């Protein structure tokens, strides 16, 4: 049989077109307002829709101070830097943000990347080399998986949060004398559960492995000051690398890696994703910096986020939805069948509720889900309205 050409593979991809044809396509919905708890969609301009799909956990993307800081940086520095951080693209603002982030997560230094996805690609493809191993949780984010593939190391995946399997594999690798790095999400972005970071740290210490945690969904959510998973488990000194993004609680776009100064120095001069990318726009850096300040000054935002999470989770469990093992403001409603998940998403939108569907390969086969995410700025009445609609639609579709 003749091998398919590149164009054949492209034209054979019909899943999205079939969903569009059936009116169930749930992606690239155009929002024409700020990311508040209520938004306007382009096709629903007559009425606002409740936003339960945003990762802006603390509601800072529309905070006046964040917007003002971004505007001030735009006026002072312009729209961009015209180069990479390595050459002409380093501003004093970038350095100030790196220092603030290092202090925030309890590490010596931090290094900015232009996106969070690039952090995982740039760090993992640089830190480990041929002959090394990366042990990665099977539910880790796609950016971690891609970073592993870009490295010359051998990636070995362990079952989700399975410490016995992780130890077996660490023990086997340690007998070979190879370098090993363990990487895990702090909060898993689809399931909403938390990595067993204290146990992972103990195993890494036992088998002399480097440990990296992706705190994209943990910053502003977990920890004594919203400072992430390592703080939550009190193992900051046992975690070598802490990664974070700005597109969630930090109300901007970009990312960073934090660790010992020697590690950051090495990445500054070897990470291709950092050296060969244009530096973060000043307005984005200023927004993230102001968001960090607000998180530290207003701990009540995190308290309110958890109050809202408890209200929604308790309500959904009472109704009878399967929420898996979620422990955080990410609450999955496990539907199973992909088309039913997309149908539920569509009906919810028609009822005034914006949610995100997750289907393979983002989740395992036959485990498609509706992903709800809470914000500190949601009101009790908004949550109760969503619960009422979810119960009615869940009964109608046989999801309960």
Q: What is the pLDDT of residues 43-61, one digit of tens each?
A: 876 789 999 999 999 999 9
* Cβ proximity of 181 and 126 under 8 Å: no
Complete DSSP assignment for 105-169: HT-SEEEEESSHHHHHHHHHHHH--TT-EEEEETT--HHHHHHHHHSSSEEEEE-TT-HHHHHHH
Residues 168 and 312 in one domain: no
Establish if 268 belongs to a structural domain.
yes
Residues 216 and 102 in one domain: yes
Establish if 4 belongs to a structural domain.
no
The pLDDT of residue 1 is: 54
* Structural domain boundaries, residue 243: 64-297
Among 254, 269, 297, residue at a domain's last position: 297
Q: Give CA 181 to chain center in angstroms.
A: 20
Residues 306 and 353 in one domain: yes
In the predicted model, residues of the chain with pLDDT beneath 50 are: none
Task: Write down the mean pLDDT value for the chain.
Answer: 95
What domain count does the chain have?
Answer: 2
Closest CA relative to residue 355, chosen from 395, 325, 396, 312? 312
Residues 57 and 95 in one domain: no
Among 238, 269, 297, residue at a domain's last position: 297
* Cβ proximity of 186 and 197 under 8 Å: yes
Closest CA relative to residue 371, chosen from 336, 334, 328? 334
The pLDDT of residue 178 is: 86
Establish if 323 belongs to a structural domain.
yes
Residues 200 and 261 in one domain: yes
Among 281, 297, 313, residue at a domain's last position: 297
Residues 72 and 221 in one domain: yes
The CATH number for 379's domain is: 3.90.1150.10
The pLDDT of residue 9 is: 87
E strand map for the chain: 38-39, 49-51, 109-113, 133-137, 154-158, 180-185, 210-214, 241-245, 255-259, 330-336, 353-354, 356-358, 368-373
E strand map for 267-312: none
Mode of pairing for the β-strands spanning 210-214 and 180-185: parallel
Residues 200 and 273 in one domain: yes
The pLDDT of residue 2 is: 61
Establish if 3 belongs to a structural domain.
no
Give backbone dihedrals phi and psi of 125, rounded to 5 degrees, phi first: -75, -10
Establish if 35 belongs to a structural domain.
yes
The CATH number for 206's domain is: 3.40.640.10
Q: Give CA 160 to chain center in angstroms.
A: 17
Residues 152 and 266 in one domain: yes
Looking up tokens 């509706």 gives: 370
DSSP state of 84: B
Give catalytic residues, as residue numbers: 189, 217, 248
Establish if 343 belongs to a structural domain.
yes
List, in sequence order, every residue forming a beta bridge with 156; answer none if it has no partner. Answer: 135
DSSP state of 195: -
The tens digit of pLDDT for each residue in 76-129 reads: 999 999 999 999 999 999 999 999 999 999 999 999 999 999 999 999 999 999
Nearest-angstrom CA–CA distance, 52 and 386: 9
Establish if 319 belongs to a structural domain.
yes
Establish if 359 belongs to a structural domain.
yes
Residues 102 and 216 in one domain: yes
Residues 163 and 76 in one domain: yes
Residues 307 and 258 in one domain: no
Global confidence as pTM: 0.95
Looking up tokens 């050409």 gives: 5
Closest CA relative to residue 188, chosen from 26, 362, 54, 321? 362
Residues 270 and 344 in one domain: no
Nearest-angstrom CA–CA distance, 165 and 210: 17
């Amino acid at each position: 049989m003749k091998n398919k050409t590149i164009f054949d593979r492209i034209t054979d991809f019909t899943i999205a077109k079939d969903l569009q044809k059936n009116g169930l396509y749930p992606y690239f919905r155009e929002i024409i307002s700020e990311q508040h708890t209520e938004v306007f969609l382009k096709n629903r301009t007559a009425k606002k829709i409740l936003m339960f799909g945003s990762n802006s956990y603390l509601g800072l993307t529309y905070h006046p101070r964040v917007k003002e800081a971004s505007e001030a940086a735009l006026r002072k520095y312009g729209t961009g830097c015209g180069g990479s951080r390595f050459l002409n693209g380093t501003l004093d603002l970038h350095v100030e943000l790196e220092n603030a982030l290092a202090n925030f997560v309890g590490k010596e230094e931090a290094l900015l990347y232009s996106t969070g996805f690039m952090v995982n690609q740039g760090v993992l493809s640089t830190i480990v080399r041929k002959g090394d191993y990366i042990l990665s949780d099977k539910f880790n984010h796609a950016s971690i998986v891609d970073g592993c593939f870009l490295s010359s190391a051998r990636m070995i995946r362990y079952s989700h949060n399975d410490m016995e399997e992780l130890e077996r594999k660490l023990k086997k690798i340690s007998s070979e004398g190879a370098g090993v790095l363990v990487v895990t999400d702090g909060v898993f972005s689809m399931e909403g559960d938390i990595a067993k970071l204290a146990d992972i740290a103990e195993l890494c210490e036992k088998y002399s492995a480097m440990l990296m945690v992706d705190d994209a969904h943990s910053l502003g959510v977990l920890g004594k000051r919203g400072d992430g998973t390592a703080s939550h488990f009190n193992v900051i000194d046992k975690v070598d690398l802490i990664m974070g993004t700005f597109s969630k609680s930090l109300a901007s776009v970009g990312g960073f890696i934090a660790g010992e100064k020697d590690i950051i120095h090495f990445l500054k001069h070897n990470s291709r994703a950092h050296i060969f990318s244009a530096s973060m726009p000043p307005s984005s850096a200023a927004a993230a910096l102001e968001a960090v300040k607000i998180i530290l000054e207003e701990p009540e935002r995190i308290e309110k986020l958890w109050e809202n999470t408890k209200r929604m989770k308790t309500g959904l469990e009472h109704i009878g939805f399967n929420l898996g093992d979620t422990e955080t403001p990410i609450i999955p409603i496990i539907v199973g069948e992909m088309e039913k998940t997309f149908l539920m998403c569509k009906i919810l939108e028609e009822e005034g509720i914006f949610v995100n569907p997750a289907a393979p390969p983002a989740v395992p086969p036959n485990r498609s889900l509706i992903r709800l995410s809470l914000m500190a700025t949601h009101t009790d009445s908004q949550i109760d309205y969503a619960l009422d609609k979810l119960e009615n639609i869940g009964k109608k579709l046989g999801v309960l």
